[in-house]
Every structure is written in structure tokens, then in C-alpha cells.
Amino acid sequence: MKTNSSRRLNRRLWRAFVFQIVLISATAIAAIYVAEFAIREILIVSALEREADYFWARQNIDPNTPAPNTHSLIGYVFDASKLNSFPEEFQGLTAGIHDLSTAVGQSVVFVSDVRGHRLFLVFDADNVRQLATYFGLVPLTLLLIILYTSAWLAYRIAGRAVSPVVQLAREVRDLDLNATERLTLSKVYEFKGADDEVITLSHALEQLVERVNQFVERERIFTRETSHEIRSPLTVIKIASEMLLSKDDLSASNRAMADKIHRAAKDMDELTQAFLLLAREGESGIAKERLCLNDIVQREIARCDLVYREKNLQLAFHEKARVWVSSSPMVVAVVIGNLIRNACAYTDKGHIDVSISAGRVRIEDTGIGISDDQLKDVFTAYYSGSSSRESGHGIGLNLVKRMTDRFGWPLEISSLRGHGTVVEVSFPGAEFELLPGM
């Protein structure tokens, strides 16, 4: 069974690690922009506004108060009516905050007008960026290194923790259920890093594999002994009944009884072979040969004609093509024979039409039919409808369904109560030759 690579445990851990790294990086980038905004809007702009208010308040008291002049802040006062007297870099600046780029560096300029004078406060933004770098980006970088390292270590620890589980899953995946030898599972709990839960799971799987080995061994013993111990007495019964039927002095009643014994033994032999085949369905070596479906259908129709002769049913065979399949003769005979016998058993009068066309066999009867609520249960083992006409093994259609599913032959059934039933079996990959006129 192939697994979806996108849902592997180690792949999902790797995706979780990458997602964590991306989330940390995105958070760091967002934090840088938030810090830059906070420095500009809260520290610089707010400080310049307060500095301007303080200057105008001092000038209101003393008109000769000089403009601020510090290492990071320089102020200029001009007559607002004399625009031509403003320095070139201040031309066109209106009241408010402006970013100014000069040959010296980046600056933030705050412009305010009071009583016909204009104040230009120029703040050196490069100093703030240096402070932000030293006290913001450097700690943030160190924090990111720590976060990335911790995330990587967490990924490595998680990978080591789940590696026994991954190895165990691969061991179970690689088990060859069709192998003839015993199934074995590695001692996963001996791997480095295996936790108690993994050890418990490993022990449980080992016990399960051991039980599977025991079941397989019992099944092989059963099929081997059944093939010999059951089929041998059936062969004796068939030979004895044939010898009885060959006697000329056998009365009519005894001949009929011997004939029933012979047919029952033959049916039981076929059922035994079918069950043995289904029991060995996991094994290779099923004998196959190129079979003509037409010949098998004709033989099964002839057998049913003998068994149900007293019903005076009209058994018709319509050949639209010659069809060949590669399979076991016994398998095809069991499938076709059970379907035809089932149609005969549930048809009191009328006809049963068996037709064979390109890659399929169709059996249509005019029997009592099956109701819709019973149709879904006809393939259930030992199911017998309310209108069952004769006793049987109760496994005919169930056996047919298991056979067709086993060999990949689609089986379809449709029925109408009181009007009959139609069963169709398809044989994909069959060879066929259309007959003239078809």
C-alpha cells in the first residue's frame, strides 16, 4: 500500500518547523516596522512638538529667546512674510512634520508658525537610527538567533522521538502478507530514543503478527487436511453411487435415491474445492488455463436440465459470441452452475434464457422474482427468502459473490417481484469472437 508522502509524520514535523520559522520571521519583521513607527511618531514627532511649544512659550516671555541648538536638534526662526529668506532646503515646507534628506544625512523637520514667525526644528534622525540599531535590532537579532536555535533543537528532539514510530510504520508497510515464510517484525523498541508508548505499540504489533502467523499456519493445516480427509470420502461416495447406477437390476426408487446421492456428492465435492480455493486466496499457484465459456455454460445447462427435468422448464442458450477466459475450470463452473441452478430453483414454469456475448454471461428467468428489500441480502451467507422453494446449502449466491469478487468479475443482479430475475457476470480481459449474424 502506497502512502501519501504529504501526510508522512516526519514531513509534517518539517512543515511545522518551517511554519514556526516563517512565523517568527514575520513577527520579527512586523516588530521592526512597529518599532520604527514608534520611534518616529512617539519619540521624534512628539518630542519636536513639545520642543516647539516650549520655545514659543519662552519667546512669549522673552522675544530674544534663542532657537534650540543642541547636538541632535537645531532650530531656525524666520519672518514668515519673507519666504525668500528661507534656506533652500526649507523652501516649500508647510507647517507640520517633514522628512528631509541633505548631504549631511537624514533629518526630520518640524515647521510651526506663531505671530508672523516660522520655526524650523531640524532633528538628526541618524542618531535615532543608530540608537535603534544598538538597542533595538541587536537585541532582536540575538532573540531571533535564540528562537531559531530553540526551534531547530525542538525539531531535532521531536524527530528523534517519532523516528521509532516512523521505523515501525515502515516495518509494518513492508510486511509481505503473501509470503510463504513466517512474518517477522524488527525489535523497534531496541532503537535509540524509543519511548514507553512506542515500546507498548511495538509489543502489541509483535503479538498481532505472531497471532497472524498462527492463524495462517492453522489455515494451511486445515486446507491441507480438508483436501485429503473430506474429498477422499466424497470420492468413495461418488464411485459407489456410480457403481449402483450401473446395475441393470436396480429398482426405480433405488436408482432415484442413488442418483440423488451421486449428485449431492458431486455438489459437495465442488463446494469443497471452492471453499479450499477461497481459503487459499492469499497464496499463488492457482491453476489457470484458457477456457471457453460457451462449453462450460452448455455443460451446466445440461446438468440443470437433468436435475430439474420434472419442472418442464424451457432452458434456452443463446450464443452471440465465443468467449475465452484465463481461469480455473472449477471456479468458472461453480459461478455459472450456481447461477443457473438458482434460476431453475426459483422458477416454477416458463423459461430460463442463458445468453453469452462479448465478455459476459446473462441469465434471465421468469421465476418468482425478488423484492427490493430482499435484493440487497441475496448475497448474504445462509440467506433464504420468504419464497424459498427448496432446501439447499444456503451459500450458493454468497459463494458466487465471493468468487466473482476474488477474481474481479463484476456481478449485477436485478429483479421484479413476480416477473423474474436477471443476473449478469462480466469477464474483463476476456477474448471473444462474434458469431455470424451478431
* pLDDT band for position 12 (cuts 50, 70, 90): confident
Q: What angle do CA 406, 338, 306 make, to 5 degrees?
A: 155
User: Is 312 domain-assigned?
Assistant: yes
User: Is 337 domain-assigned?
Assistant: yes
Q: What are phi and psi of 105, to 5 degrees?
A: 160, -165
Final residue belonging to a domain, choices 214, 240, 266 = 214
- 364 and 414 housed in the same domain: yes
Per-residue pLDDT at 37 exceeds 50: yes
Per-residue pLDDT at 394 exceeds 50: no
Residue bearing the bigger pLDDT, 4 or 210: 210
Nearest to 109 by CA among 125, 120, 95: 120
User: Is 148 domain-assigned?
Assistant: no
- 330 and 420 housed in the same domain: yes
User: Is 187 domain-assigned?
Assistant: yes
- 430 and 310 housed in the same domain: yes
CATH number of the domain enclosing 303: 3.30.565.10
Per-residue pLDDT at 352 exceeds 90: yes
- 234 and 351 housed in the same domain: no
User: Is 106 domain-assigned?
Assistant: no
User: Is 294 domain-assigned?
Assistant: yes
Count up the domains in the chain and report the number: 4
Task: Note the pLDDT of residue 34.
Answer: 74
- 415 and 315 housed in the same domain: yes
Q: What are phi and psi of 68, to 5 degrees?
A: -60, 145
User: Is 59 domain-assigned?
Assistant: yes
First to last CA, the chain: 44
User: Is residue 300 within 8 Å of 363, Cβ to Cβ?
Assistant: no
Task: Note the pLDDT of residue 189.
Answer: 53
User: Is 153 domain-assigned?
Assistant: no
Domain that holds residue 271: 230-279
- 200 and 253 housed in the same domain: no
Side-chain-facing half-sphere of 99: CA atoms under 13 Å: 5
- 34 and 62 housed in the same domain: yes
Q: 19 burial class (0-12, 13-18, 19+ CB within 10 angstroms)? A: exposed
- 273 and 302 housed in the same domain: no
- 204 and 271 housed in the same domain: no
- 374 and 273 housed in the same domain: no
Task: Note the pLDDT of residue 283.
Answer: 44
Cβ-Cβ contacts under 8 Å for 413 (sequence gap 6 or more):
375, 378, 421, 422, 423, 424
- 203 and 240 housed in the same domain: no
Final residue belonging to a domain, choices 222, 256, 279 = 279
The mean of the pLDDT values for the chain is 79
- 186 and 297 housed in the same domain: no
Final residue belonging to a domain, choices 187, 214, 241 = 214
Task: Note the pLDDT of residue 356.
Answer: 95
* Mean pLDDT computed over 49-77: 87
